C-alpha cells in the first residue's frame, strides 16, 4: 500500500499586487510505497521546495490531492495540522533547524513534549535511536557546541523519535562536508533498511544516488524517474548524471535517457 | 576633479539620510527621546533661572529645588542617551560590516556616521528647543498653579521670558552627549573586524551560567534592604537608613535579575517532571536566554519604575496632605506659646489674650489653652532619665516629655476624667512605653489610660525623636516628676494658647502681629505664630517638590518606554528564526504565539511586579521619613501609593501593548 500518494498537484503563486501568476507546480503525480527511499531531483526553481512544503502541510496546493496513509492532508483543518505533522511526519532540514536554546537531547524531545509524552517514555525511545546514530555522548551539548554532521544526526534523531510514517528531508547534505555527507547517507540507507520510508529532496547527485528511486522534476512536472534496482551507488550516480545532462541540454522526454531497468 | 569630490561628498550625505530612514524603526524612538530630553532640560533650566519666580516669597526654595532637578536630569540624560545609542549601534553592526566588505574603509564609515550624527543632533536640538521654548510657558503656568502663586500675584503669570542662558547650556550639554555617542560609535567601528561585523548580533548564543554567589548576594541584599525598611523605628534613623536601604535594594535587584532569575529557571529545568511539560518546556528554555540578554535592561526598568512610584507617591501625598501638615504643625490658626510662666500668672495671661481676641471684631473660637512643663529625657524601657541640660536631641532613646495638669486636660477635651495621685494618662508620639507603669527617678506612676488621639501642637522634632504627653492629677505631681528627674523645685511652666479665626489670611496675620506687640509690651518669653504665614512657604516647598516629582516622573517614564520598546524590537529579531523552526517541528502557529506571548509577558511584567513589591516594602520607611516633615496622614499616603501604582501599571500595560505590536510585526516578517 502506498504511504504517500500525490495526485495532480498544482501550485500557482500570485504576486502580492495580483499582477503576475507564477506556476511552481503544474501537475505532479507520484506515489511512495511503504519502505521506499525516494529522492526528488531538480534544478533550482523547478518546484522542489514548493512540493516539499505542500507534503509537509506547511503550504496548500492550488489544486490536487496528497494522501498520507489514505488520509487527504490537504483537507486537514488548520487546528489539527500541527499535531498531524508532528505525529505522522519527520523532518530533516538543510540547516538542521535545531533550536539554540535547547540541548541536543531537548531538541530531540521537542515533538514528544508537544504531544504530552512522559519523560520516562521519551527517554526510553531516545536511547536506542541515540545509540544507532552515535550521538549518546553529545546529548547534553548545545547545537553551537557540536559539528555540522553531529547536528544533522541530532536532527535525524528528532525526526525518528516520533516513529513517523514518512521522513521528509530537504537537502539534508547541503550544509555538510564530504565526510559528514557520506556518514549521513549511510545512515539514511541504514534506517531505510530498518523499514523507514524516506522522501528526500536534493540536487546533489551523490545524495540522490543513495536512494532506491529518483524522480526528476522539471518546470513543475515529474519529468522522469530512475529505479536503482541492482545498481550500485556508482552506477546510479552515472545514470543520474546522464539524465541531468540530458535535461539540461534540452533532450526530449524518453529519447536517449538512461533506461529504467526496474 | 572638484566635481568628483563634490559627488563623493554628496554621496555620504545621501547615504547617511538613507541609513536613518532605513533604520527608522530604531532611530525614530531615539530621536523622539532626544527631542523630549532636550525640551525638558531647557524647560527646567529656564524655570530654575526665572527671575520673577525668585522674587516671590518662597520662590527661592522653588528655584533651588528646580536646580536640583536640573542636575539629576543632566546626569540621567548622559547615562541614558549613551545607553540607548550604544544599543542602536550594536543593532547596526551588520550593516557596517556590509559597507566594509563592499569597499568602504573604516574611515569612510566613520565619516558617514559623523554625518548621521550631525543630522540626528540637528533634528533633536532644533525640535527639542522649539518644543522646550513653546512648552516652558505651559510648565511655568503649571508650576505657578501648583505652588499657588497665581492667586496672589496675577502679574506673575505674564512674566516668563525666553532664557538665552538656558538655551546655551542645553545646547552645550546635548552637543556634549551627542559627541560622546559619536566617539563611542567610532570606537565600536574601530575595534571590530569586518567578518565579525557581518555576523553582528548572531554570535553563537551560549547558555547562561548559573552564578550562585551573585544570586545569593542578591537575596541577601534585597532581604537586608527590606528588613531595614520595615523594621526602622525612629524617623531619624529612617533618614540615614533610607539611602542605605535604597542602595541595598538596587544591588539586590540587579543581582536577582541577572543571576537569580537564571538560577531559578535552571532549578526548574532540573525538575524533569515539571520541565518536560508542553506548557513549560519552550517557555523555560526561552526565558533562560531572554533573561541572559535582558536582565540588566529589565533591572533598569524595575529601578526606574520604583523611582517613579516612590517619587510620585511621596510628592503627591505631600502636596495633597499640605493642609494636614499645616494643621499638625499649627493645631489652631493662631497660636501663642509662652515660657517661664508661674501658675499664678496663667489665668491672668489667659484673660488678657482672650480680651485681645474679643476686641478684634472677627469671629473666633475653638480655643485651646493649657499649661505644661516639658523636658528632655533618656528612655530605657519604661524608665525615663532626665537630660535637663541636653542641647542636642539626636541621641538614641532621647524623648521629649510634656506634663499637663488634669484640670487643663479636662477643660481642653470637655471631659470629667479623674486620676488617683499616682496615676497618669499617656499620649505617645513616635515611640512607645511598654507595660502599665512609667518611672521617673524614684517615682513610679501607673498608666491609667493611653490616649489615642490628641489635638496638640506637634513639632517635627517630636515626630523624629519621640515624645510623651503625660496628663497628671495636679501641679504638685508635675513638680514631683521634675524633681525626680533632677530638676529644681517649683519650676516655672510653659503656657499654650491657640484659637481659630474665621477671616482672610491678611486679617489673621494682622491679629498675629497685634499679639506679638502685646507679648513685647508684657515682656513675655515665647512666640506667636500664624498658620497662614507659614502656608505660602509651605505650598512653595511642597508644590515645588510636587512639580519636580511630576517632571522627573515624566522623564523616567519616557526612559522606561524607550527601554521597553528597544527590548521588544531586539526580542523580535531574536525570535524571528525560532518562530519558524518551532512551526516546522510541529507547533501550531497558535501554540508558538502562546508560548512566546507568555514569555514576553513574564519578561515585561516582572519589573513592574518587582517595582510594586519594592514600593510596598519602602512604605514603612517612607512613612517615617514623611513624619519628619509633619506628614503623618498615613492613610492618605497609602492611597497615594496605591493610586500612583495603579496609574503607572495602567500606563505600563498601554506601553506594552503598543510596543508588542512592533514585536509581532517583526516576528511575522
CB contact under 8 A, B588 and A82: yes
What integer is the mean pLDDT of B287-307? 85
Helix axes B322-329, B531-585, angle to 10 degrees: 140
First to last CA, chain B: 45
pLDDT at B253 over 90: yes
Count each helix (H run) and each strand (E run) in chain A, helices first: 8, 10
Q: Are A85 and A57 in contact (CB under 8 A)?
A: yes
Range from B294-303, B311-320, B357-366 carrying the lowest mean pLDDT: B357-366
Measured in angstroms, the CA of B567 and the nearest CA of chain A are apart by 18
Q: Are B512 and B533 in contact (CB under 8 A)?
A: yes
Cα distance between residue B71 and residue B663, in whole Å = 35
Strands A37-41, A198-202: pairing is parallel
Measured in angstroms, the CA of A97 and the nearest CA of chain B are apart by 6
Task: Using the 3D structure, point to which of B156, B183, B203 is the last residue of a domain.
Answer: B203
Quote the DSSP letter at residue B1. Answer: -
Whether residues B243 and B289 share a domain: the answer is yes
Quick one: pLDDT band at residue B130, thresholds 50, 70, 90? very high
Residue B181 Cα to chain centre, angstroms: 29
Query: How much is the pLDDT for B150?
Result: 53
Query: How much is the pLDDT for B329?
Result: 76
> Taking CA atoms, what residue in B is nearest to A115?
B278
Cα distance between residue B457 and residue B240, in whole Å = 26
Other Cβ atoms within 10 Å of B134 Cβ, number: 11
Which position has the higher pLDDT, B464 or B145? B145
CB < 8 Å to A78, chain B: 588
Instruction: Note whether residue B313 is domain-resident.
Output: yes
Range from A71-85, B3-17, B517-531 carrying the lowest mean pLDDT: B3-17
Which position has the higher pLDDT, B116 or B489? B116
Helix axes B589-628, B634-667, angle to 10 degrees: 150
What are the φ/ψ torsions at residue B92 (nearest 5 degrees)?
Answer: -95, 5
CB contact under 8 A, B588 and A79: yes
CB contact under 8 A, A58 and B583: yes
- HSE-up of B248 (CA within 13 Å, CB side)? 20
Residue A50 CB-density burial (10 A; 0-12 exposed, 13-18 middle, 19+ buried): buried
Query: How much is the pLDDT for A262?
Result: 42
B443: β partners: B440
Query: How much is the pLDDT for B629?
Result: 72
Query: How much is the pLDDT for A38?
Result: 94
Query: How much is the pLDDT for A58?
Result: 79
- B23-34, pLDDT tens digit by residue? 888 888 899 999
Cα distance between residue A196 and residue A164, in whole Å = 8
CB < 8 Å to B204, chain A: 100, 144
Measured in angstroms, the CA of A49 and the nearest CA of chain B are apart by 14
Whether residues B352 and B482 share a domain: the answer is yes
Query: How much is the pLDDT for A147?
Result: 87
Question: What Å distances lie between residue A237 and A36, A199, A204, B127, B326, CA to CA?
Answer: 18, 18, 10, 69, 97
Which position has the higher pLDDT, B153 or B216? B216
Instruction: Enumerate chain A positions whose Cβ falls within 8 A of a Cβ in B.
Output: 56, 58, 78-79, 81-83, 85-87, 91, 93, 97-102, 106, 109-111, 113-114, 116, 118-119, 122, 142, 144, 158
pLDDT at B583 over 90: no
- Among A78, A82, A144, select the one facing B586 at the smallest CB separation: A82
> Taking CA atoms, what residue in B is nearest to A95?
B581
Q: Are B666 and B576 in contact (CB under 8 A)?
A: yes
- A143-164, pLDDT tens digit by residue? 888 888 899 889 999 998 988 9
Instruction: Note whether residue B4 is domain-resident.
Output: no
Whether residues B318 and B338 share a domain: the answer is no
- B603-614, pLDDT tens digit by residue? 788 899 999 999
Whether residues B414 and B509 share a domain: the answer is yes
Measured in angstroms, the CA of B100 and the nearest CA of chain A are apart by 26
Whether residues B362 and B397 share a domain: the answer is yes
pLDDT at A261 over 50: no
Measured in angstroms, the CA of A96 and the nearest CA of chain B are apart by 9
Q: Are B521 and B353 in contact (CB under 8 A)?
A: no
Give the DSSP H or E segment for B564.
helix B531-585
Residue B112 Cα to chain centre, angstroms: 42
The mean pLDDT value of chain A amounts to 85
Give the DSSP H or E segment for B368.
strand B364-380
Instruction: Note whether residue B5 is domain-resident.
Output: no
Which position has the higher pLDDT, B283 or B255? B255
Helix axes B164-191, B24-49, angle to 10 degrees: 150
Measured in angstroms, the CA of B588 and the nearest CA of chain A are apart by 5
Measured in angstroms, the CA of A131 and the nearest CA of chain B are apart by 22
Cα distance between residue A72 and residue B76, in whole Å = 63
Instruction: Note whether residue B283 is domain-resident.
Output: yes
- Among A93, A109, A114, select the one facing B587 at the smallest CB separation: A114
Pick from B505, B237, B486: which is nearest to B377 by CA? B486
Residue B145 CB-density burial (10 A; 0-12 exposed, 13-18 middle, 19+ buried): middle
pTM over 0.95: no
> Taking CA atoms, what residue in B is nearest to A88?
B586
What's the farthest any 2 CA atoms get from each other in chain B? 111
Task: Using the 3D structure, point to which of B518, B534, B550 is the last residue of a domain.
Answer: B534
Pick from B47, B77, B73: which is nearest to B146 by CA? B47
> Taking CA atoms, what residue in B is nearest to A140?
B207
Quick one: pLDDT band at residue B554, thresholds 50, 70, 90? confident
| Burial readout A136-169 (b: 16 or more C-beta within 10 A, e: otherwise) | eebbebbbeebebbbbbbbbbbbbbbbebbbbbb
Instruction: Note whether residue B377 is domain-resident.
Output: yes
Range from A89-93, A125-129, B96-100, B524-528 carrying the lowest mean pLDDT: B96-100
Query: How much is the pLDDT for A99?
Result: 84
Question: What Å distances lie between residue B498 and B227, B331, B495, CA to CA?
Answer: 42, 8, 10
Whether residues B217 and B191 share a domain: the answer is no
Chosen for mutation from B270, B276, B596 (greatest number of chain A CBs closer than 10 Å) is: B276
What integer is the mean pLDDT of B155-166? 73
pLDDT at B198 over 80: no
Show the domain range for B489: 334-534
> E strands within chain A?
2-14, 21-33, 37-41, 63-68, 71-72, 89-92, 166-170, 198-202, 213-218, 221-227
The mean pLDDT value of chain B amounts to 83
Strands B364-380, A221-227: pairing is unpaired
Pick from B168, B142, B174: which is nearest to B49 by CA? B168
What integer is the mean pLDDT of B5-27? 78
Instruction: Note whether residue B631 is domain-resident.
Output: yes
CB < 8 Å to A101, chain B: 205, 285-286, 288-289, 578
- Among A110, A119, A142, select the one facing B585 at the smallest CB separation: A110
Whether residues B344 and B255 share a domain: the answer is no
Which position has the higher pLDDT, B113 or B62? B113
A224: β partners: A216
CB contact under 8 A, A106 and B285: yes
Instruction: Note whether residue B1 is domain-resident.
Output: no
- Among B278, B288, B289, select the one facing A114 at the smallest CB separation: B278
- A12-68, pLDDT tens digit by residue? 887 666 667 788 888 889 999 999 999 998 877 778 888 888 888 878 888 999 998
Strands B383-386, B525-530: pairing is unpaired
What integer is the mean pLDDT of B321-326? 79
A28: β partners: A9
pLDDT at B254 over 70: yes
Whether residues B149 and B284 share a domain: the answer is no
Instruction: Note whether residue B7 is domain-resident.
Output: no
Cα distance between residue B424 and residue B472, in whole Å = 5
CB < 8 Å to A123, chain B: none
Query: How much is the pLDDT for B43?
Result: 92
- Among B273, B578, B588, select the one facing A99 at the smallest CB separation: B578
CB < 8 Å to B208, chain A: none
- A171-202, pLDDT tens digit by residue? 888 888 888 899 899 989 999 998 999 999 98
Quick one: pLDDT band at residue B1, thresholds 50, 70, 90? very low
CB contact under 8 A, B285 and A101: yes
Alpha helix ranges (H) inside B92-105: 93-101
Proportion of chain B above pLDDT 70, given as a percent? 91
Whether residues B504 and B386 share a domain: the answer is yes
Cα distance between residue B519 and residue B338, in whole Å = 9
Per the structure, the count of domains in chain B is 3
pLDDT at B391 over 50: yes
Task: Using the 3D structure, point to which of B203, B223, B249 is the last residue of a domain.
Answer: B203
How many beta-carbon contacts under 8 Å exist across A and B? Answer: 76
What are the φ/ψ torsions at residue A212 (nearest 5 degrees)?
Answer: -90, -20
CB contact under 8 A, B281 and A110: yes
Proportion of chain B above pLDDT 90, given as a percent? 16
CB contact under 8 A, A119 and B589: no
Query: How much is the pLDDT for B2?
Result: 45
Whether residues B62 and B192 share a domain: the answer is yes
Whether residues B237 and B211 share a domain: the answer is yes
Query: How much is the pLDDT for B523?
Result: 83
Strands B467-472, B423-429: pairing is antiparallel
Measured in angstroms, the CA of B204 and the nearest CA of chain A are apart by 6
Whether residues B266 and B338 share a domain: the answer is no
Amino acid at each position: 500500500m502506498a504511504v504517500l500518494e500525490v495526485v495532480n498537484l498544482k501550485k500557482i503563486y500570485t504576486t502580492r499586487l495580483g499582477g503576475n501568476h507564477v506556476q511552481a507546480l503544474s501537475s505532479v503525480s507520484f506515489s511512495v510505497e511503504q519502505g521506499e527511499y525516494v529522492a526528488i531531483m531538480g534544478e533550482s526553481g523547478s518546484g522542489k521546495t514548493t512540493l516539499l512544503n505542500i507534503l509537509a502541510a506547511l503550504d496548500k496546493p492550488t489544486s490536487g490531492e496528497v494522501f498520507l496513509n489514505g488520509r487527504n492532508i490537504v483537507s486537514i483543518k488548520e487546528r489539527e495540522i500541527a499535531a498531524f505533522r508532528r505525529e505522522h511526519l519527520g523532518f530533516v532540514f538543510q540547516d538542521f533547524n535545531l533550536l539554540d536554546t535547547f540541548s541536543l537531547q531537548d531538541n530531540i524531545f521537542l515533538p514528544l513534549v508537544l504531544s504530552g509524552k512522559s519523560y520516562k517514555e521519551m527517554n526510553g525511545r531516545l536511547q536506542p535511536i541515540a545509540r544507532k546514530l552515535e550521538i549518546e555522548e553529545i546529548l547534553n551539548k548545545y547545537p553551537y557546541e557540536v559539528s555540522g554532521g553531529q547536528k544533522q544526526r541530532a536532527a535525524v534523531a528528532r525526526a525518528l523519535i516520533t516513529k513517523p510514517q514518512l521522513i521528509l528531508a530537504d537537502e539534508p547534505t547541503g550544509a555538510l562536508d564530504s565526510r559528514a555527507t557520506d556518514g549521513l547517507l549511510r545512515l539514511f540507507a541504514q534506517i531505510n533498511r530498518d523499514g523507514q520510508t524516506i522522501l528526500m529532496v536534493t540536487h546533489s547527485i551523490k545524495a540522490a544516488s543513495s536512494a532506491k528511486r529518483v524522480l526528476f522534476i522539471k518546470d513543475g512536472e515529474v519529468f522522469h524517474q530512475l529505479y536503482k534496482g541492482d545498481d550500485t551507488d556508482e552506477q546510479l550516480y552515472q545514470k543520474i548524471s546522464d539524465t541531468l545532462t540530458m535535461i539540461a541540454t534540452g533532450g526530449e522526454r524518453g529519447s536517449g535517457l538512461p533506461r529504467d531497468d526496474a | 576633479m572638484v566635481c568628483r569630490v563634490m559627488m563623493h561628498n554628496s554621496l555620504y550625505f545621501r547615504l547617511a539620510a538613507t541609513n536613518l530612514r532605513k533604520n527608522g524603526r530604531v532611530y525614530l524612538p531615539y530621536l523622539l527621546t532626544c527631542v523630549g530630553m532636550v525640551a525638558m532640560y531647557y524647560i527646567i533650566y529656564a524655570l530654575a533661572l526665572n527671575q520673577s519666580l525668585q522674587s516671590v516669597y518662597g520662590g527661592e526654595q522653588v528655584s533651588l529645588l528646580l536646580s536640583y532637578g536640573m542636575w539629576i536630569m543632566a546626569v540621567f540624560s548622559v547615562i541614558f542617551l549613551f545607553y540607548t545609542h550604544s544599543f542602536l549601534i550594536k543593532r547596526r553592526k551588520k550593516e557596517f560590516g556590509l559597507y566594509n566588505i563592499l569597499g568602504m574603509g573604516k574611515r569612510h564609515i566613520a565619516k558617514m556616521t559623523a554625518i548621521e550624527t550631525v543630522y540626528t543632533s540637528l533634528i533633536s536640538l532644533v525640535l527639542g528647543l522649539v518644543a522646550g521654548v513653546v512648552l516652558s510657558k505651559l510648565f511655568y503656568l503649571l508650576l505657578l498653579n501648583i505652588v499657588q502663586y497665581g492667586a496672589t500675584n496675577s502679574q506673575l503669570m505674564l512674566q516668563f521670558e525666553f532664557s538665552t542662558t538656558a538655551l546655551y547650556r542645553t545646547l552645550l550639554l546635548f552637543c556634549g552627549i551627542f559627541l560622546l555617542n559619536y566617539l563611542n560609535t567610532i570606537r565600536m567601528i574601530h575595534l571590530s573586524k569586518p567578518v565579525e561585523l557581518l555576523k553582528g548580533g548572531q554570535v553563537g548564543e551560549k547558555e547562561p551560567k548559573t552564578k550562585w554567589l551573585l544570586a545569593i548576594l542578591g537575596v541577601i541584599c534585597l532581604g537586608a534592604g527590606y528588613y531595614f525598611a520595615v523594621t526602622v523605628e525612629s524617623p531619624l534613623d529612617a533618614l540615614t537608613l533610607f539611602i542605605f536601604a535604597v542602595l541595598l535594594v538596587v544591588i539586590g535587584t540587579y543581582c536577582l535579575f541577572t543571576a537569580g532569575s537564571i538560577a531559578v529557571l535552571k532549578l526548574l529545568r532540573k525538575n524533569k517532571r515539571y520541565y518536560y511539560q508542553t506548557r513549560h518546556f519552550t517557555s523555560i528554555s526561552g526565558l533562560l536566554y531572554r533573561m541572559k540578554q535582558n536582565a540588566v535592561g529589565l533591572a533598569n526598568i524595575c529601578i526606574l519604575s520604583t523611582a517613579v512610584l516612590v517619587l510620585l507617591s511621596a510628592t503627591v501625598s505631600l502636596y495633597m496632605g499640605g493642609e494636614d501638615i499645616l494643621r499638625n504643625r499649627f493645631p489652631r490658626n493662631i497660636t501663642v506659646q509662652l515660657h517661664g510662666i508661674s501658675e499664678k500668672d496663667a489665668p491672668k495671661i489667659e484673660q488678657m489674650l482672650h480680651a485681645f481676641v474679643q476686641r478684634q471684631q472677627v469671629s473666633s473660637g475653638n480655643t485651646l489653652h493649657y499649661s505644661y512643663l516639658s523636658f528632655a529625657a533618656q528612655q530605657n524601657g519604661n524608665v525615663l532619665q532626665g537630660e535637663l541640660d541636653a542641647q542636642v536631641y539626636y541621641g538614641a532613646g532621647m524623648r521629649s516629655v510634656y506634663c499637663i495638669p488634669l484640670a487643663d486636660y479636662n477643660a481642653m477635651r470637655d471631659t470629667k476624667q479623674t486620676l488617683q495621685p499616682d496615676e497618669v494618662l499617656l499620649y505617645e508620639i513616635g515611640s512607645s512605653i511598654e507595660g502599665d507603669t512609667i518611672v521617673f527617678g524614684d517615682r513610679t506612676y501607673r498608666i491609667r489610660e493611653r490616649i489615642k488621639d490628641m489635638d496638640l501642637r506637634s513639632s517635627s522634632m517630636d515626630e523624629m525623636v519621640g515624645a510623651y504627653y503625660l496628663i497628671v492629677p495636679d501641679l504638685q505631681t508635675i513638680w514631683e516628676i521634675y524633681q525626680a528627674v533632677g530638676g529644681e523645685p517649683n519650676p516655672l511652666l510653659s503656657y499654650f494658647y491657640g484659637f481659630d479665626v474665621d477671616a482672610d489670611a491678611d486679617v489673621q496675620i494682622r491679629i498675629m502681629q497685634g499679639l506679638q506687640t502685646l507679648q513685647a509690651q508684657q515682656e513675655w518669653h515665647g512666640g506667636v505664630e500664624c498658620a497662614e504665614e507659614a502656608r505660602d512657604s509651605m505650598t512653595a516647598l511642597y508644590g515645588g517638590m510636587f512639580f519636580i516629582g511630576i517632571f522627573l516622573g515624566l522623564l523616567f517614564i519616557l526612559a522606561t518606554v524607550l527601554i521597553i520598546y528597544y527590548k521588544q524590537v531586539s526580542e523580535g529579531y531574536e525570535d524571528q528564526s525560532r518562530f519558524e523552526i518551532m512551526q516546522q517541528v510541529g507547533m501550531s502557529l497558535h501554540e508558538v504565539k502562546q508560548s512566546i506571548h507568555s514569555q514576553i509577558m513574564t519578561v515585561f511584567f516582572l519589573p513592574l511586579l518587582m517595582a510594586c513589591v519594592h514600593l510596598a516594602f519602602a512604605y514603612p520607611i517612607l512613612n517615617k521619613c514623611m513624619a519628619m516633615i509633619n506628614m503623618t496622614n498615613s492613610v492618605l499616603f497609602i492611597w497615594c501609593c496605591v493610586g500612583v501604582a495603579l496609574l503607572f501599571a495602567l500606563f505600563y500595560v498601554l506601553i506594552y501593548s503598543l510596543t508588542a505590536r512592533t514585536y509581532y510585526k517583526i516576528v511575522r516578517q
